[in-house]
Amino acid sequence: MREITHFIDGVSVAGTSGRYGDVFNPNTGEVQARVTLATAAELDAAVGSAVRAQQTWALVNPQRRARVMFEFKRLVEARMDELAELLSSEHGKVIADSKGDIQRGLEVIEFACGIPHALKGEYTEGAGPGIDVYSMRQPLGVAAGITPFNFPAMIPMWMFGIAIAVGNTFILKPSEKDPSVPVRLAELMMEAGAPKGVLNVVHGDKVAVDAILDHPDIKAVSFVGSSDIAHYVYSRGTANAKRVQAMGGAKNHGIILPDADLEQATKDIIGAAYGSAGERCMALPVVVPVGKTTADEVRERVLSELETLKVGVSTDAAAQYGPVVSGAHKQRVSDYIQMGVEEGAELVVDGRGFALQGYEKGFFIGPTLFDNVKPSMRTYQEEIFGPVLQIVRAETFEEALRLPSEHQYGNGVAIFTRNGRAAREFASRVNVGMVGINVPIPVPVAYHTFGGWKRSAFGDVNQHGMEGVRFYTKVKTITARWPEGAVEDSAFVIPTMR
């Protein structure tokens, strides 16, 4: 049995807890490896390594830190095929999706390559008589990231790329479901020239998470996962005086106005709802057609697309999505489908009976479609996180606008229309953090910022872009005067800028 170990102080470290998690091959349903789960003492050892490394790493000038990022980017690109295959073998997403996972992470690394510019402070000459005022951004120290299973390459790179580039060191606690790629990324970061201890990977469950949230030497924590756990991480971390950004769940809506290009909108929704088996926080699992005519046509177009949608193993180049990550998650999604039936939604296509010949024990779920879903239903209110699309019919623009605005989650939303005025009004008024206009998955580019509203995010600062730079640094402001001649008597007043 292959064992996946921690990566601490630049080397592989076997666990001592005697506790392990199973890592499955989702295509076959078989256990392919086991990952060691950390003790609080092992987490402490990783933090000790990070503290020692940070004292010298912070003194490296930004341009040299950027060169490490450039080399890391080159190494990851050179190993794209290897990393994508490894990612798919543990997660289950098809190879093309795995490459997209890695590429979207690399885009933040590209942003981090420009860190000398992003770290520049502000300067005011002559703010008062002979007084200059300037500011600088300095690293926090040791930061940590707790990342989910659905993007085992992208989200870690979103976090550690900027954190390390600004001069921090980093502790990564990836999902125990697909932990191999995060370890490989840490190895490549060392190969790129980062000193040992700059990036450590510690595997674990709640024991490791709590150790991160309680450790006095960890100054900032970034988290992505479910909303309940995000709230827990935010509450416990901030109670321990840490800076915390905790991204939670989502229920993203796709609003389709009658004037939309329905052919394009339907194809976009199919990809956004079923791609990566729906295991994306920016998936689009709810479609809201406005008006009966639009709804009926969208339903027929979706059904037509589903007839040609191919589900296959991760390595099948023709497959549009693969299995879900685990047997437990497959059961969870199946339970939500049954719940939808019991709540009275119309189950148009049921994917629970799907089986792939030769891979009958794999964690596959066929594409599932519900119509006439009501906002009062629990299956609408909660995140299913699987290949399930729900149609919620709206009579008017205002009703369609209210649905995502009043939902407990506010991660992303999309509107499909040819009407610029309607799109502008929708984008301005909708109570959601990220909006797509004829864009089904509105994940911002790396030099902008990612973050939802309401129960989709806890904390005041978003992921990556300049928001990421602000999250992983603290501002120091200096007011300086260089008096000439004799030293004057001490002044016991606040200096003013007259």
Give the active site residues. 281
> Which residues are CB-contacts of 282 (< 8 A; sequence separation ≥ 6)?
250, 252, 411, 412, 434, 441, 442, 443
Q: What residues have CB less than 8 Å from 188, skipping those under 6 apart? A: 72, 75, 76, 79
Q: In whole angstroms, what is the distance from residue 31 CA to residue 8 CA?
A: 25
Distance, in Å, from the CA atom of 308 to the CA atom of 480, rounded to the nearest integer, reads 69
DSSP letters spanning 296-363? HHHHHHHHHHHTT--B--TT-TT-SB---S-HHHHHHHHHHHHHHHHHT-EEEE--TT---TT-TTS-
Q: Report d(CA 84, CA 80) in Å as an integer.
A: 6
- What are the CB-based long-range contacts (under 8 Å, 24+) for 14-17? 15/39, 15/42, 15/203, 16/41, 16/42, 17/42, 17/207
Strand 346-349 vs strand 286-289: parallel, antiparallel, or unpaired?
unpaired
Over the Cα atoms of the chain, what is R_g?
A: 25
Pairing of β 243-247 and β 457-458: antiparallel
Q: Give the count of beta carbons closer than 10 Å to the beta carbon of residue 408.
A: 14
What is the total residue count of the chain? 498
The amino acid that residue 169 corresponds to is T
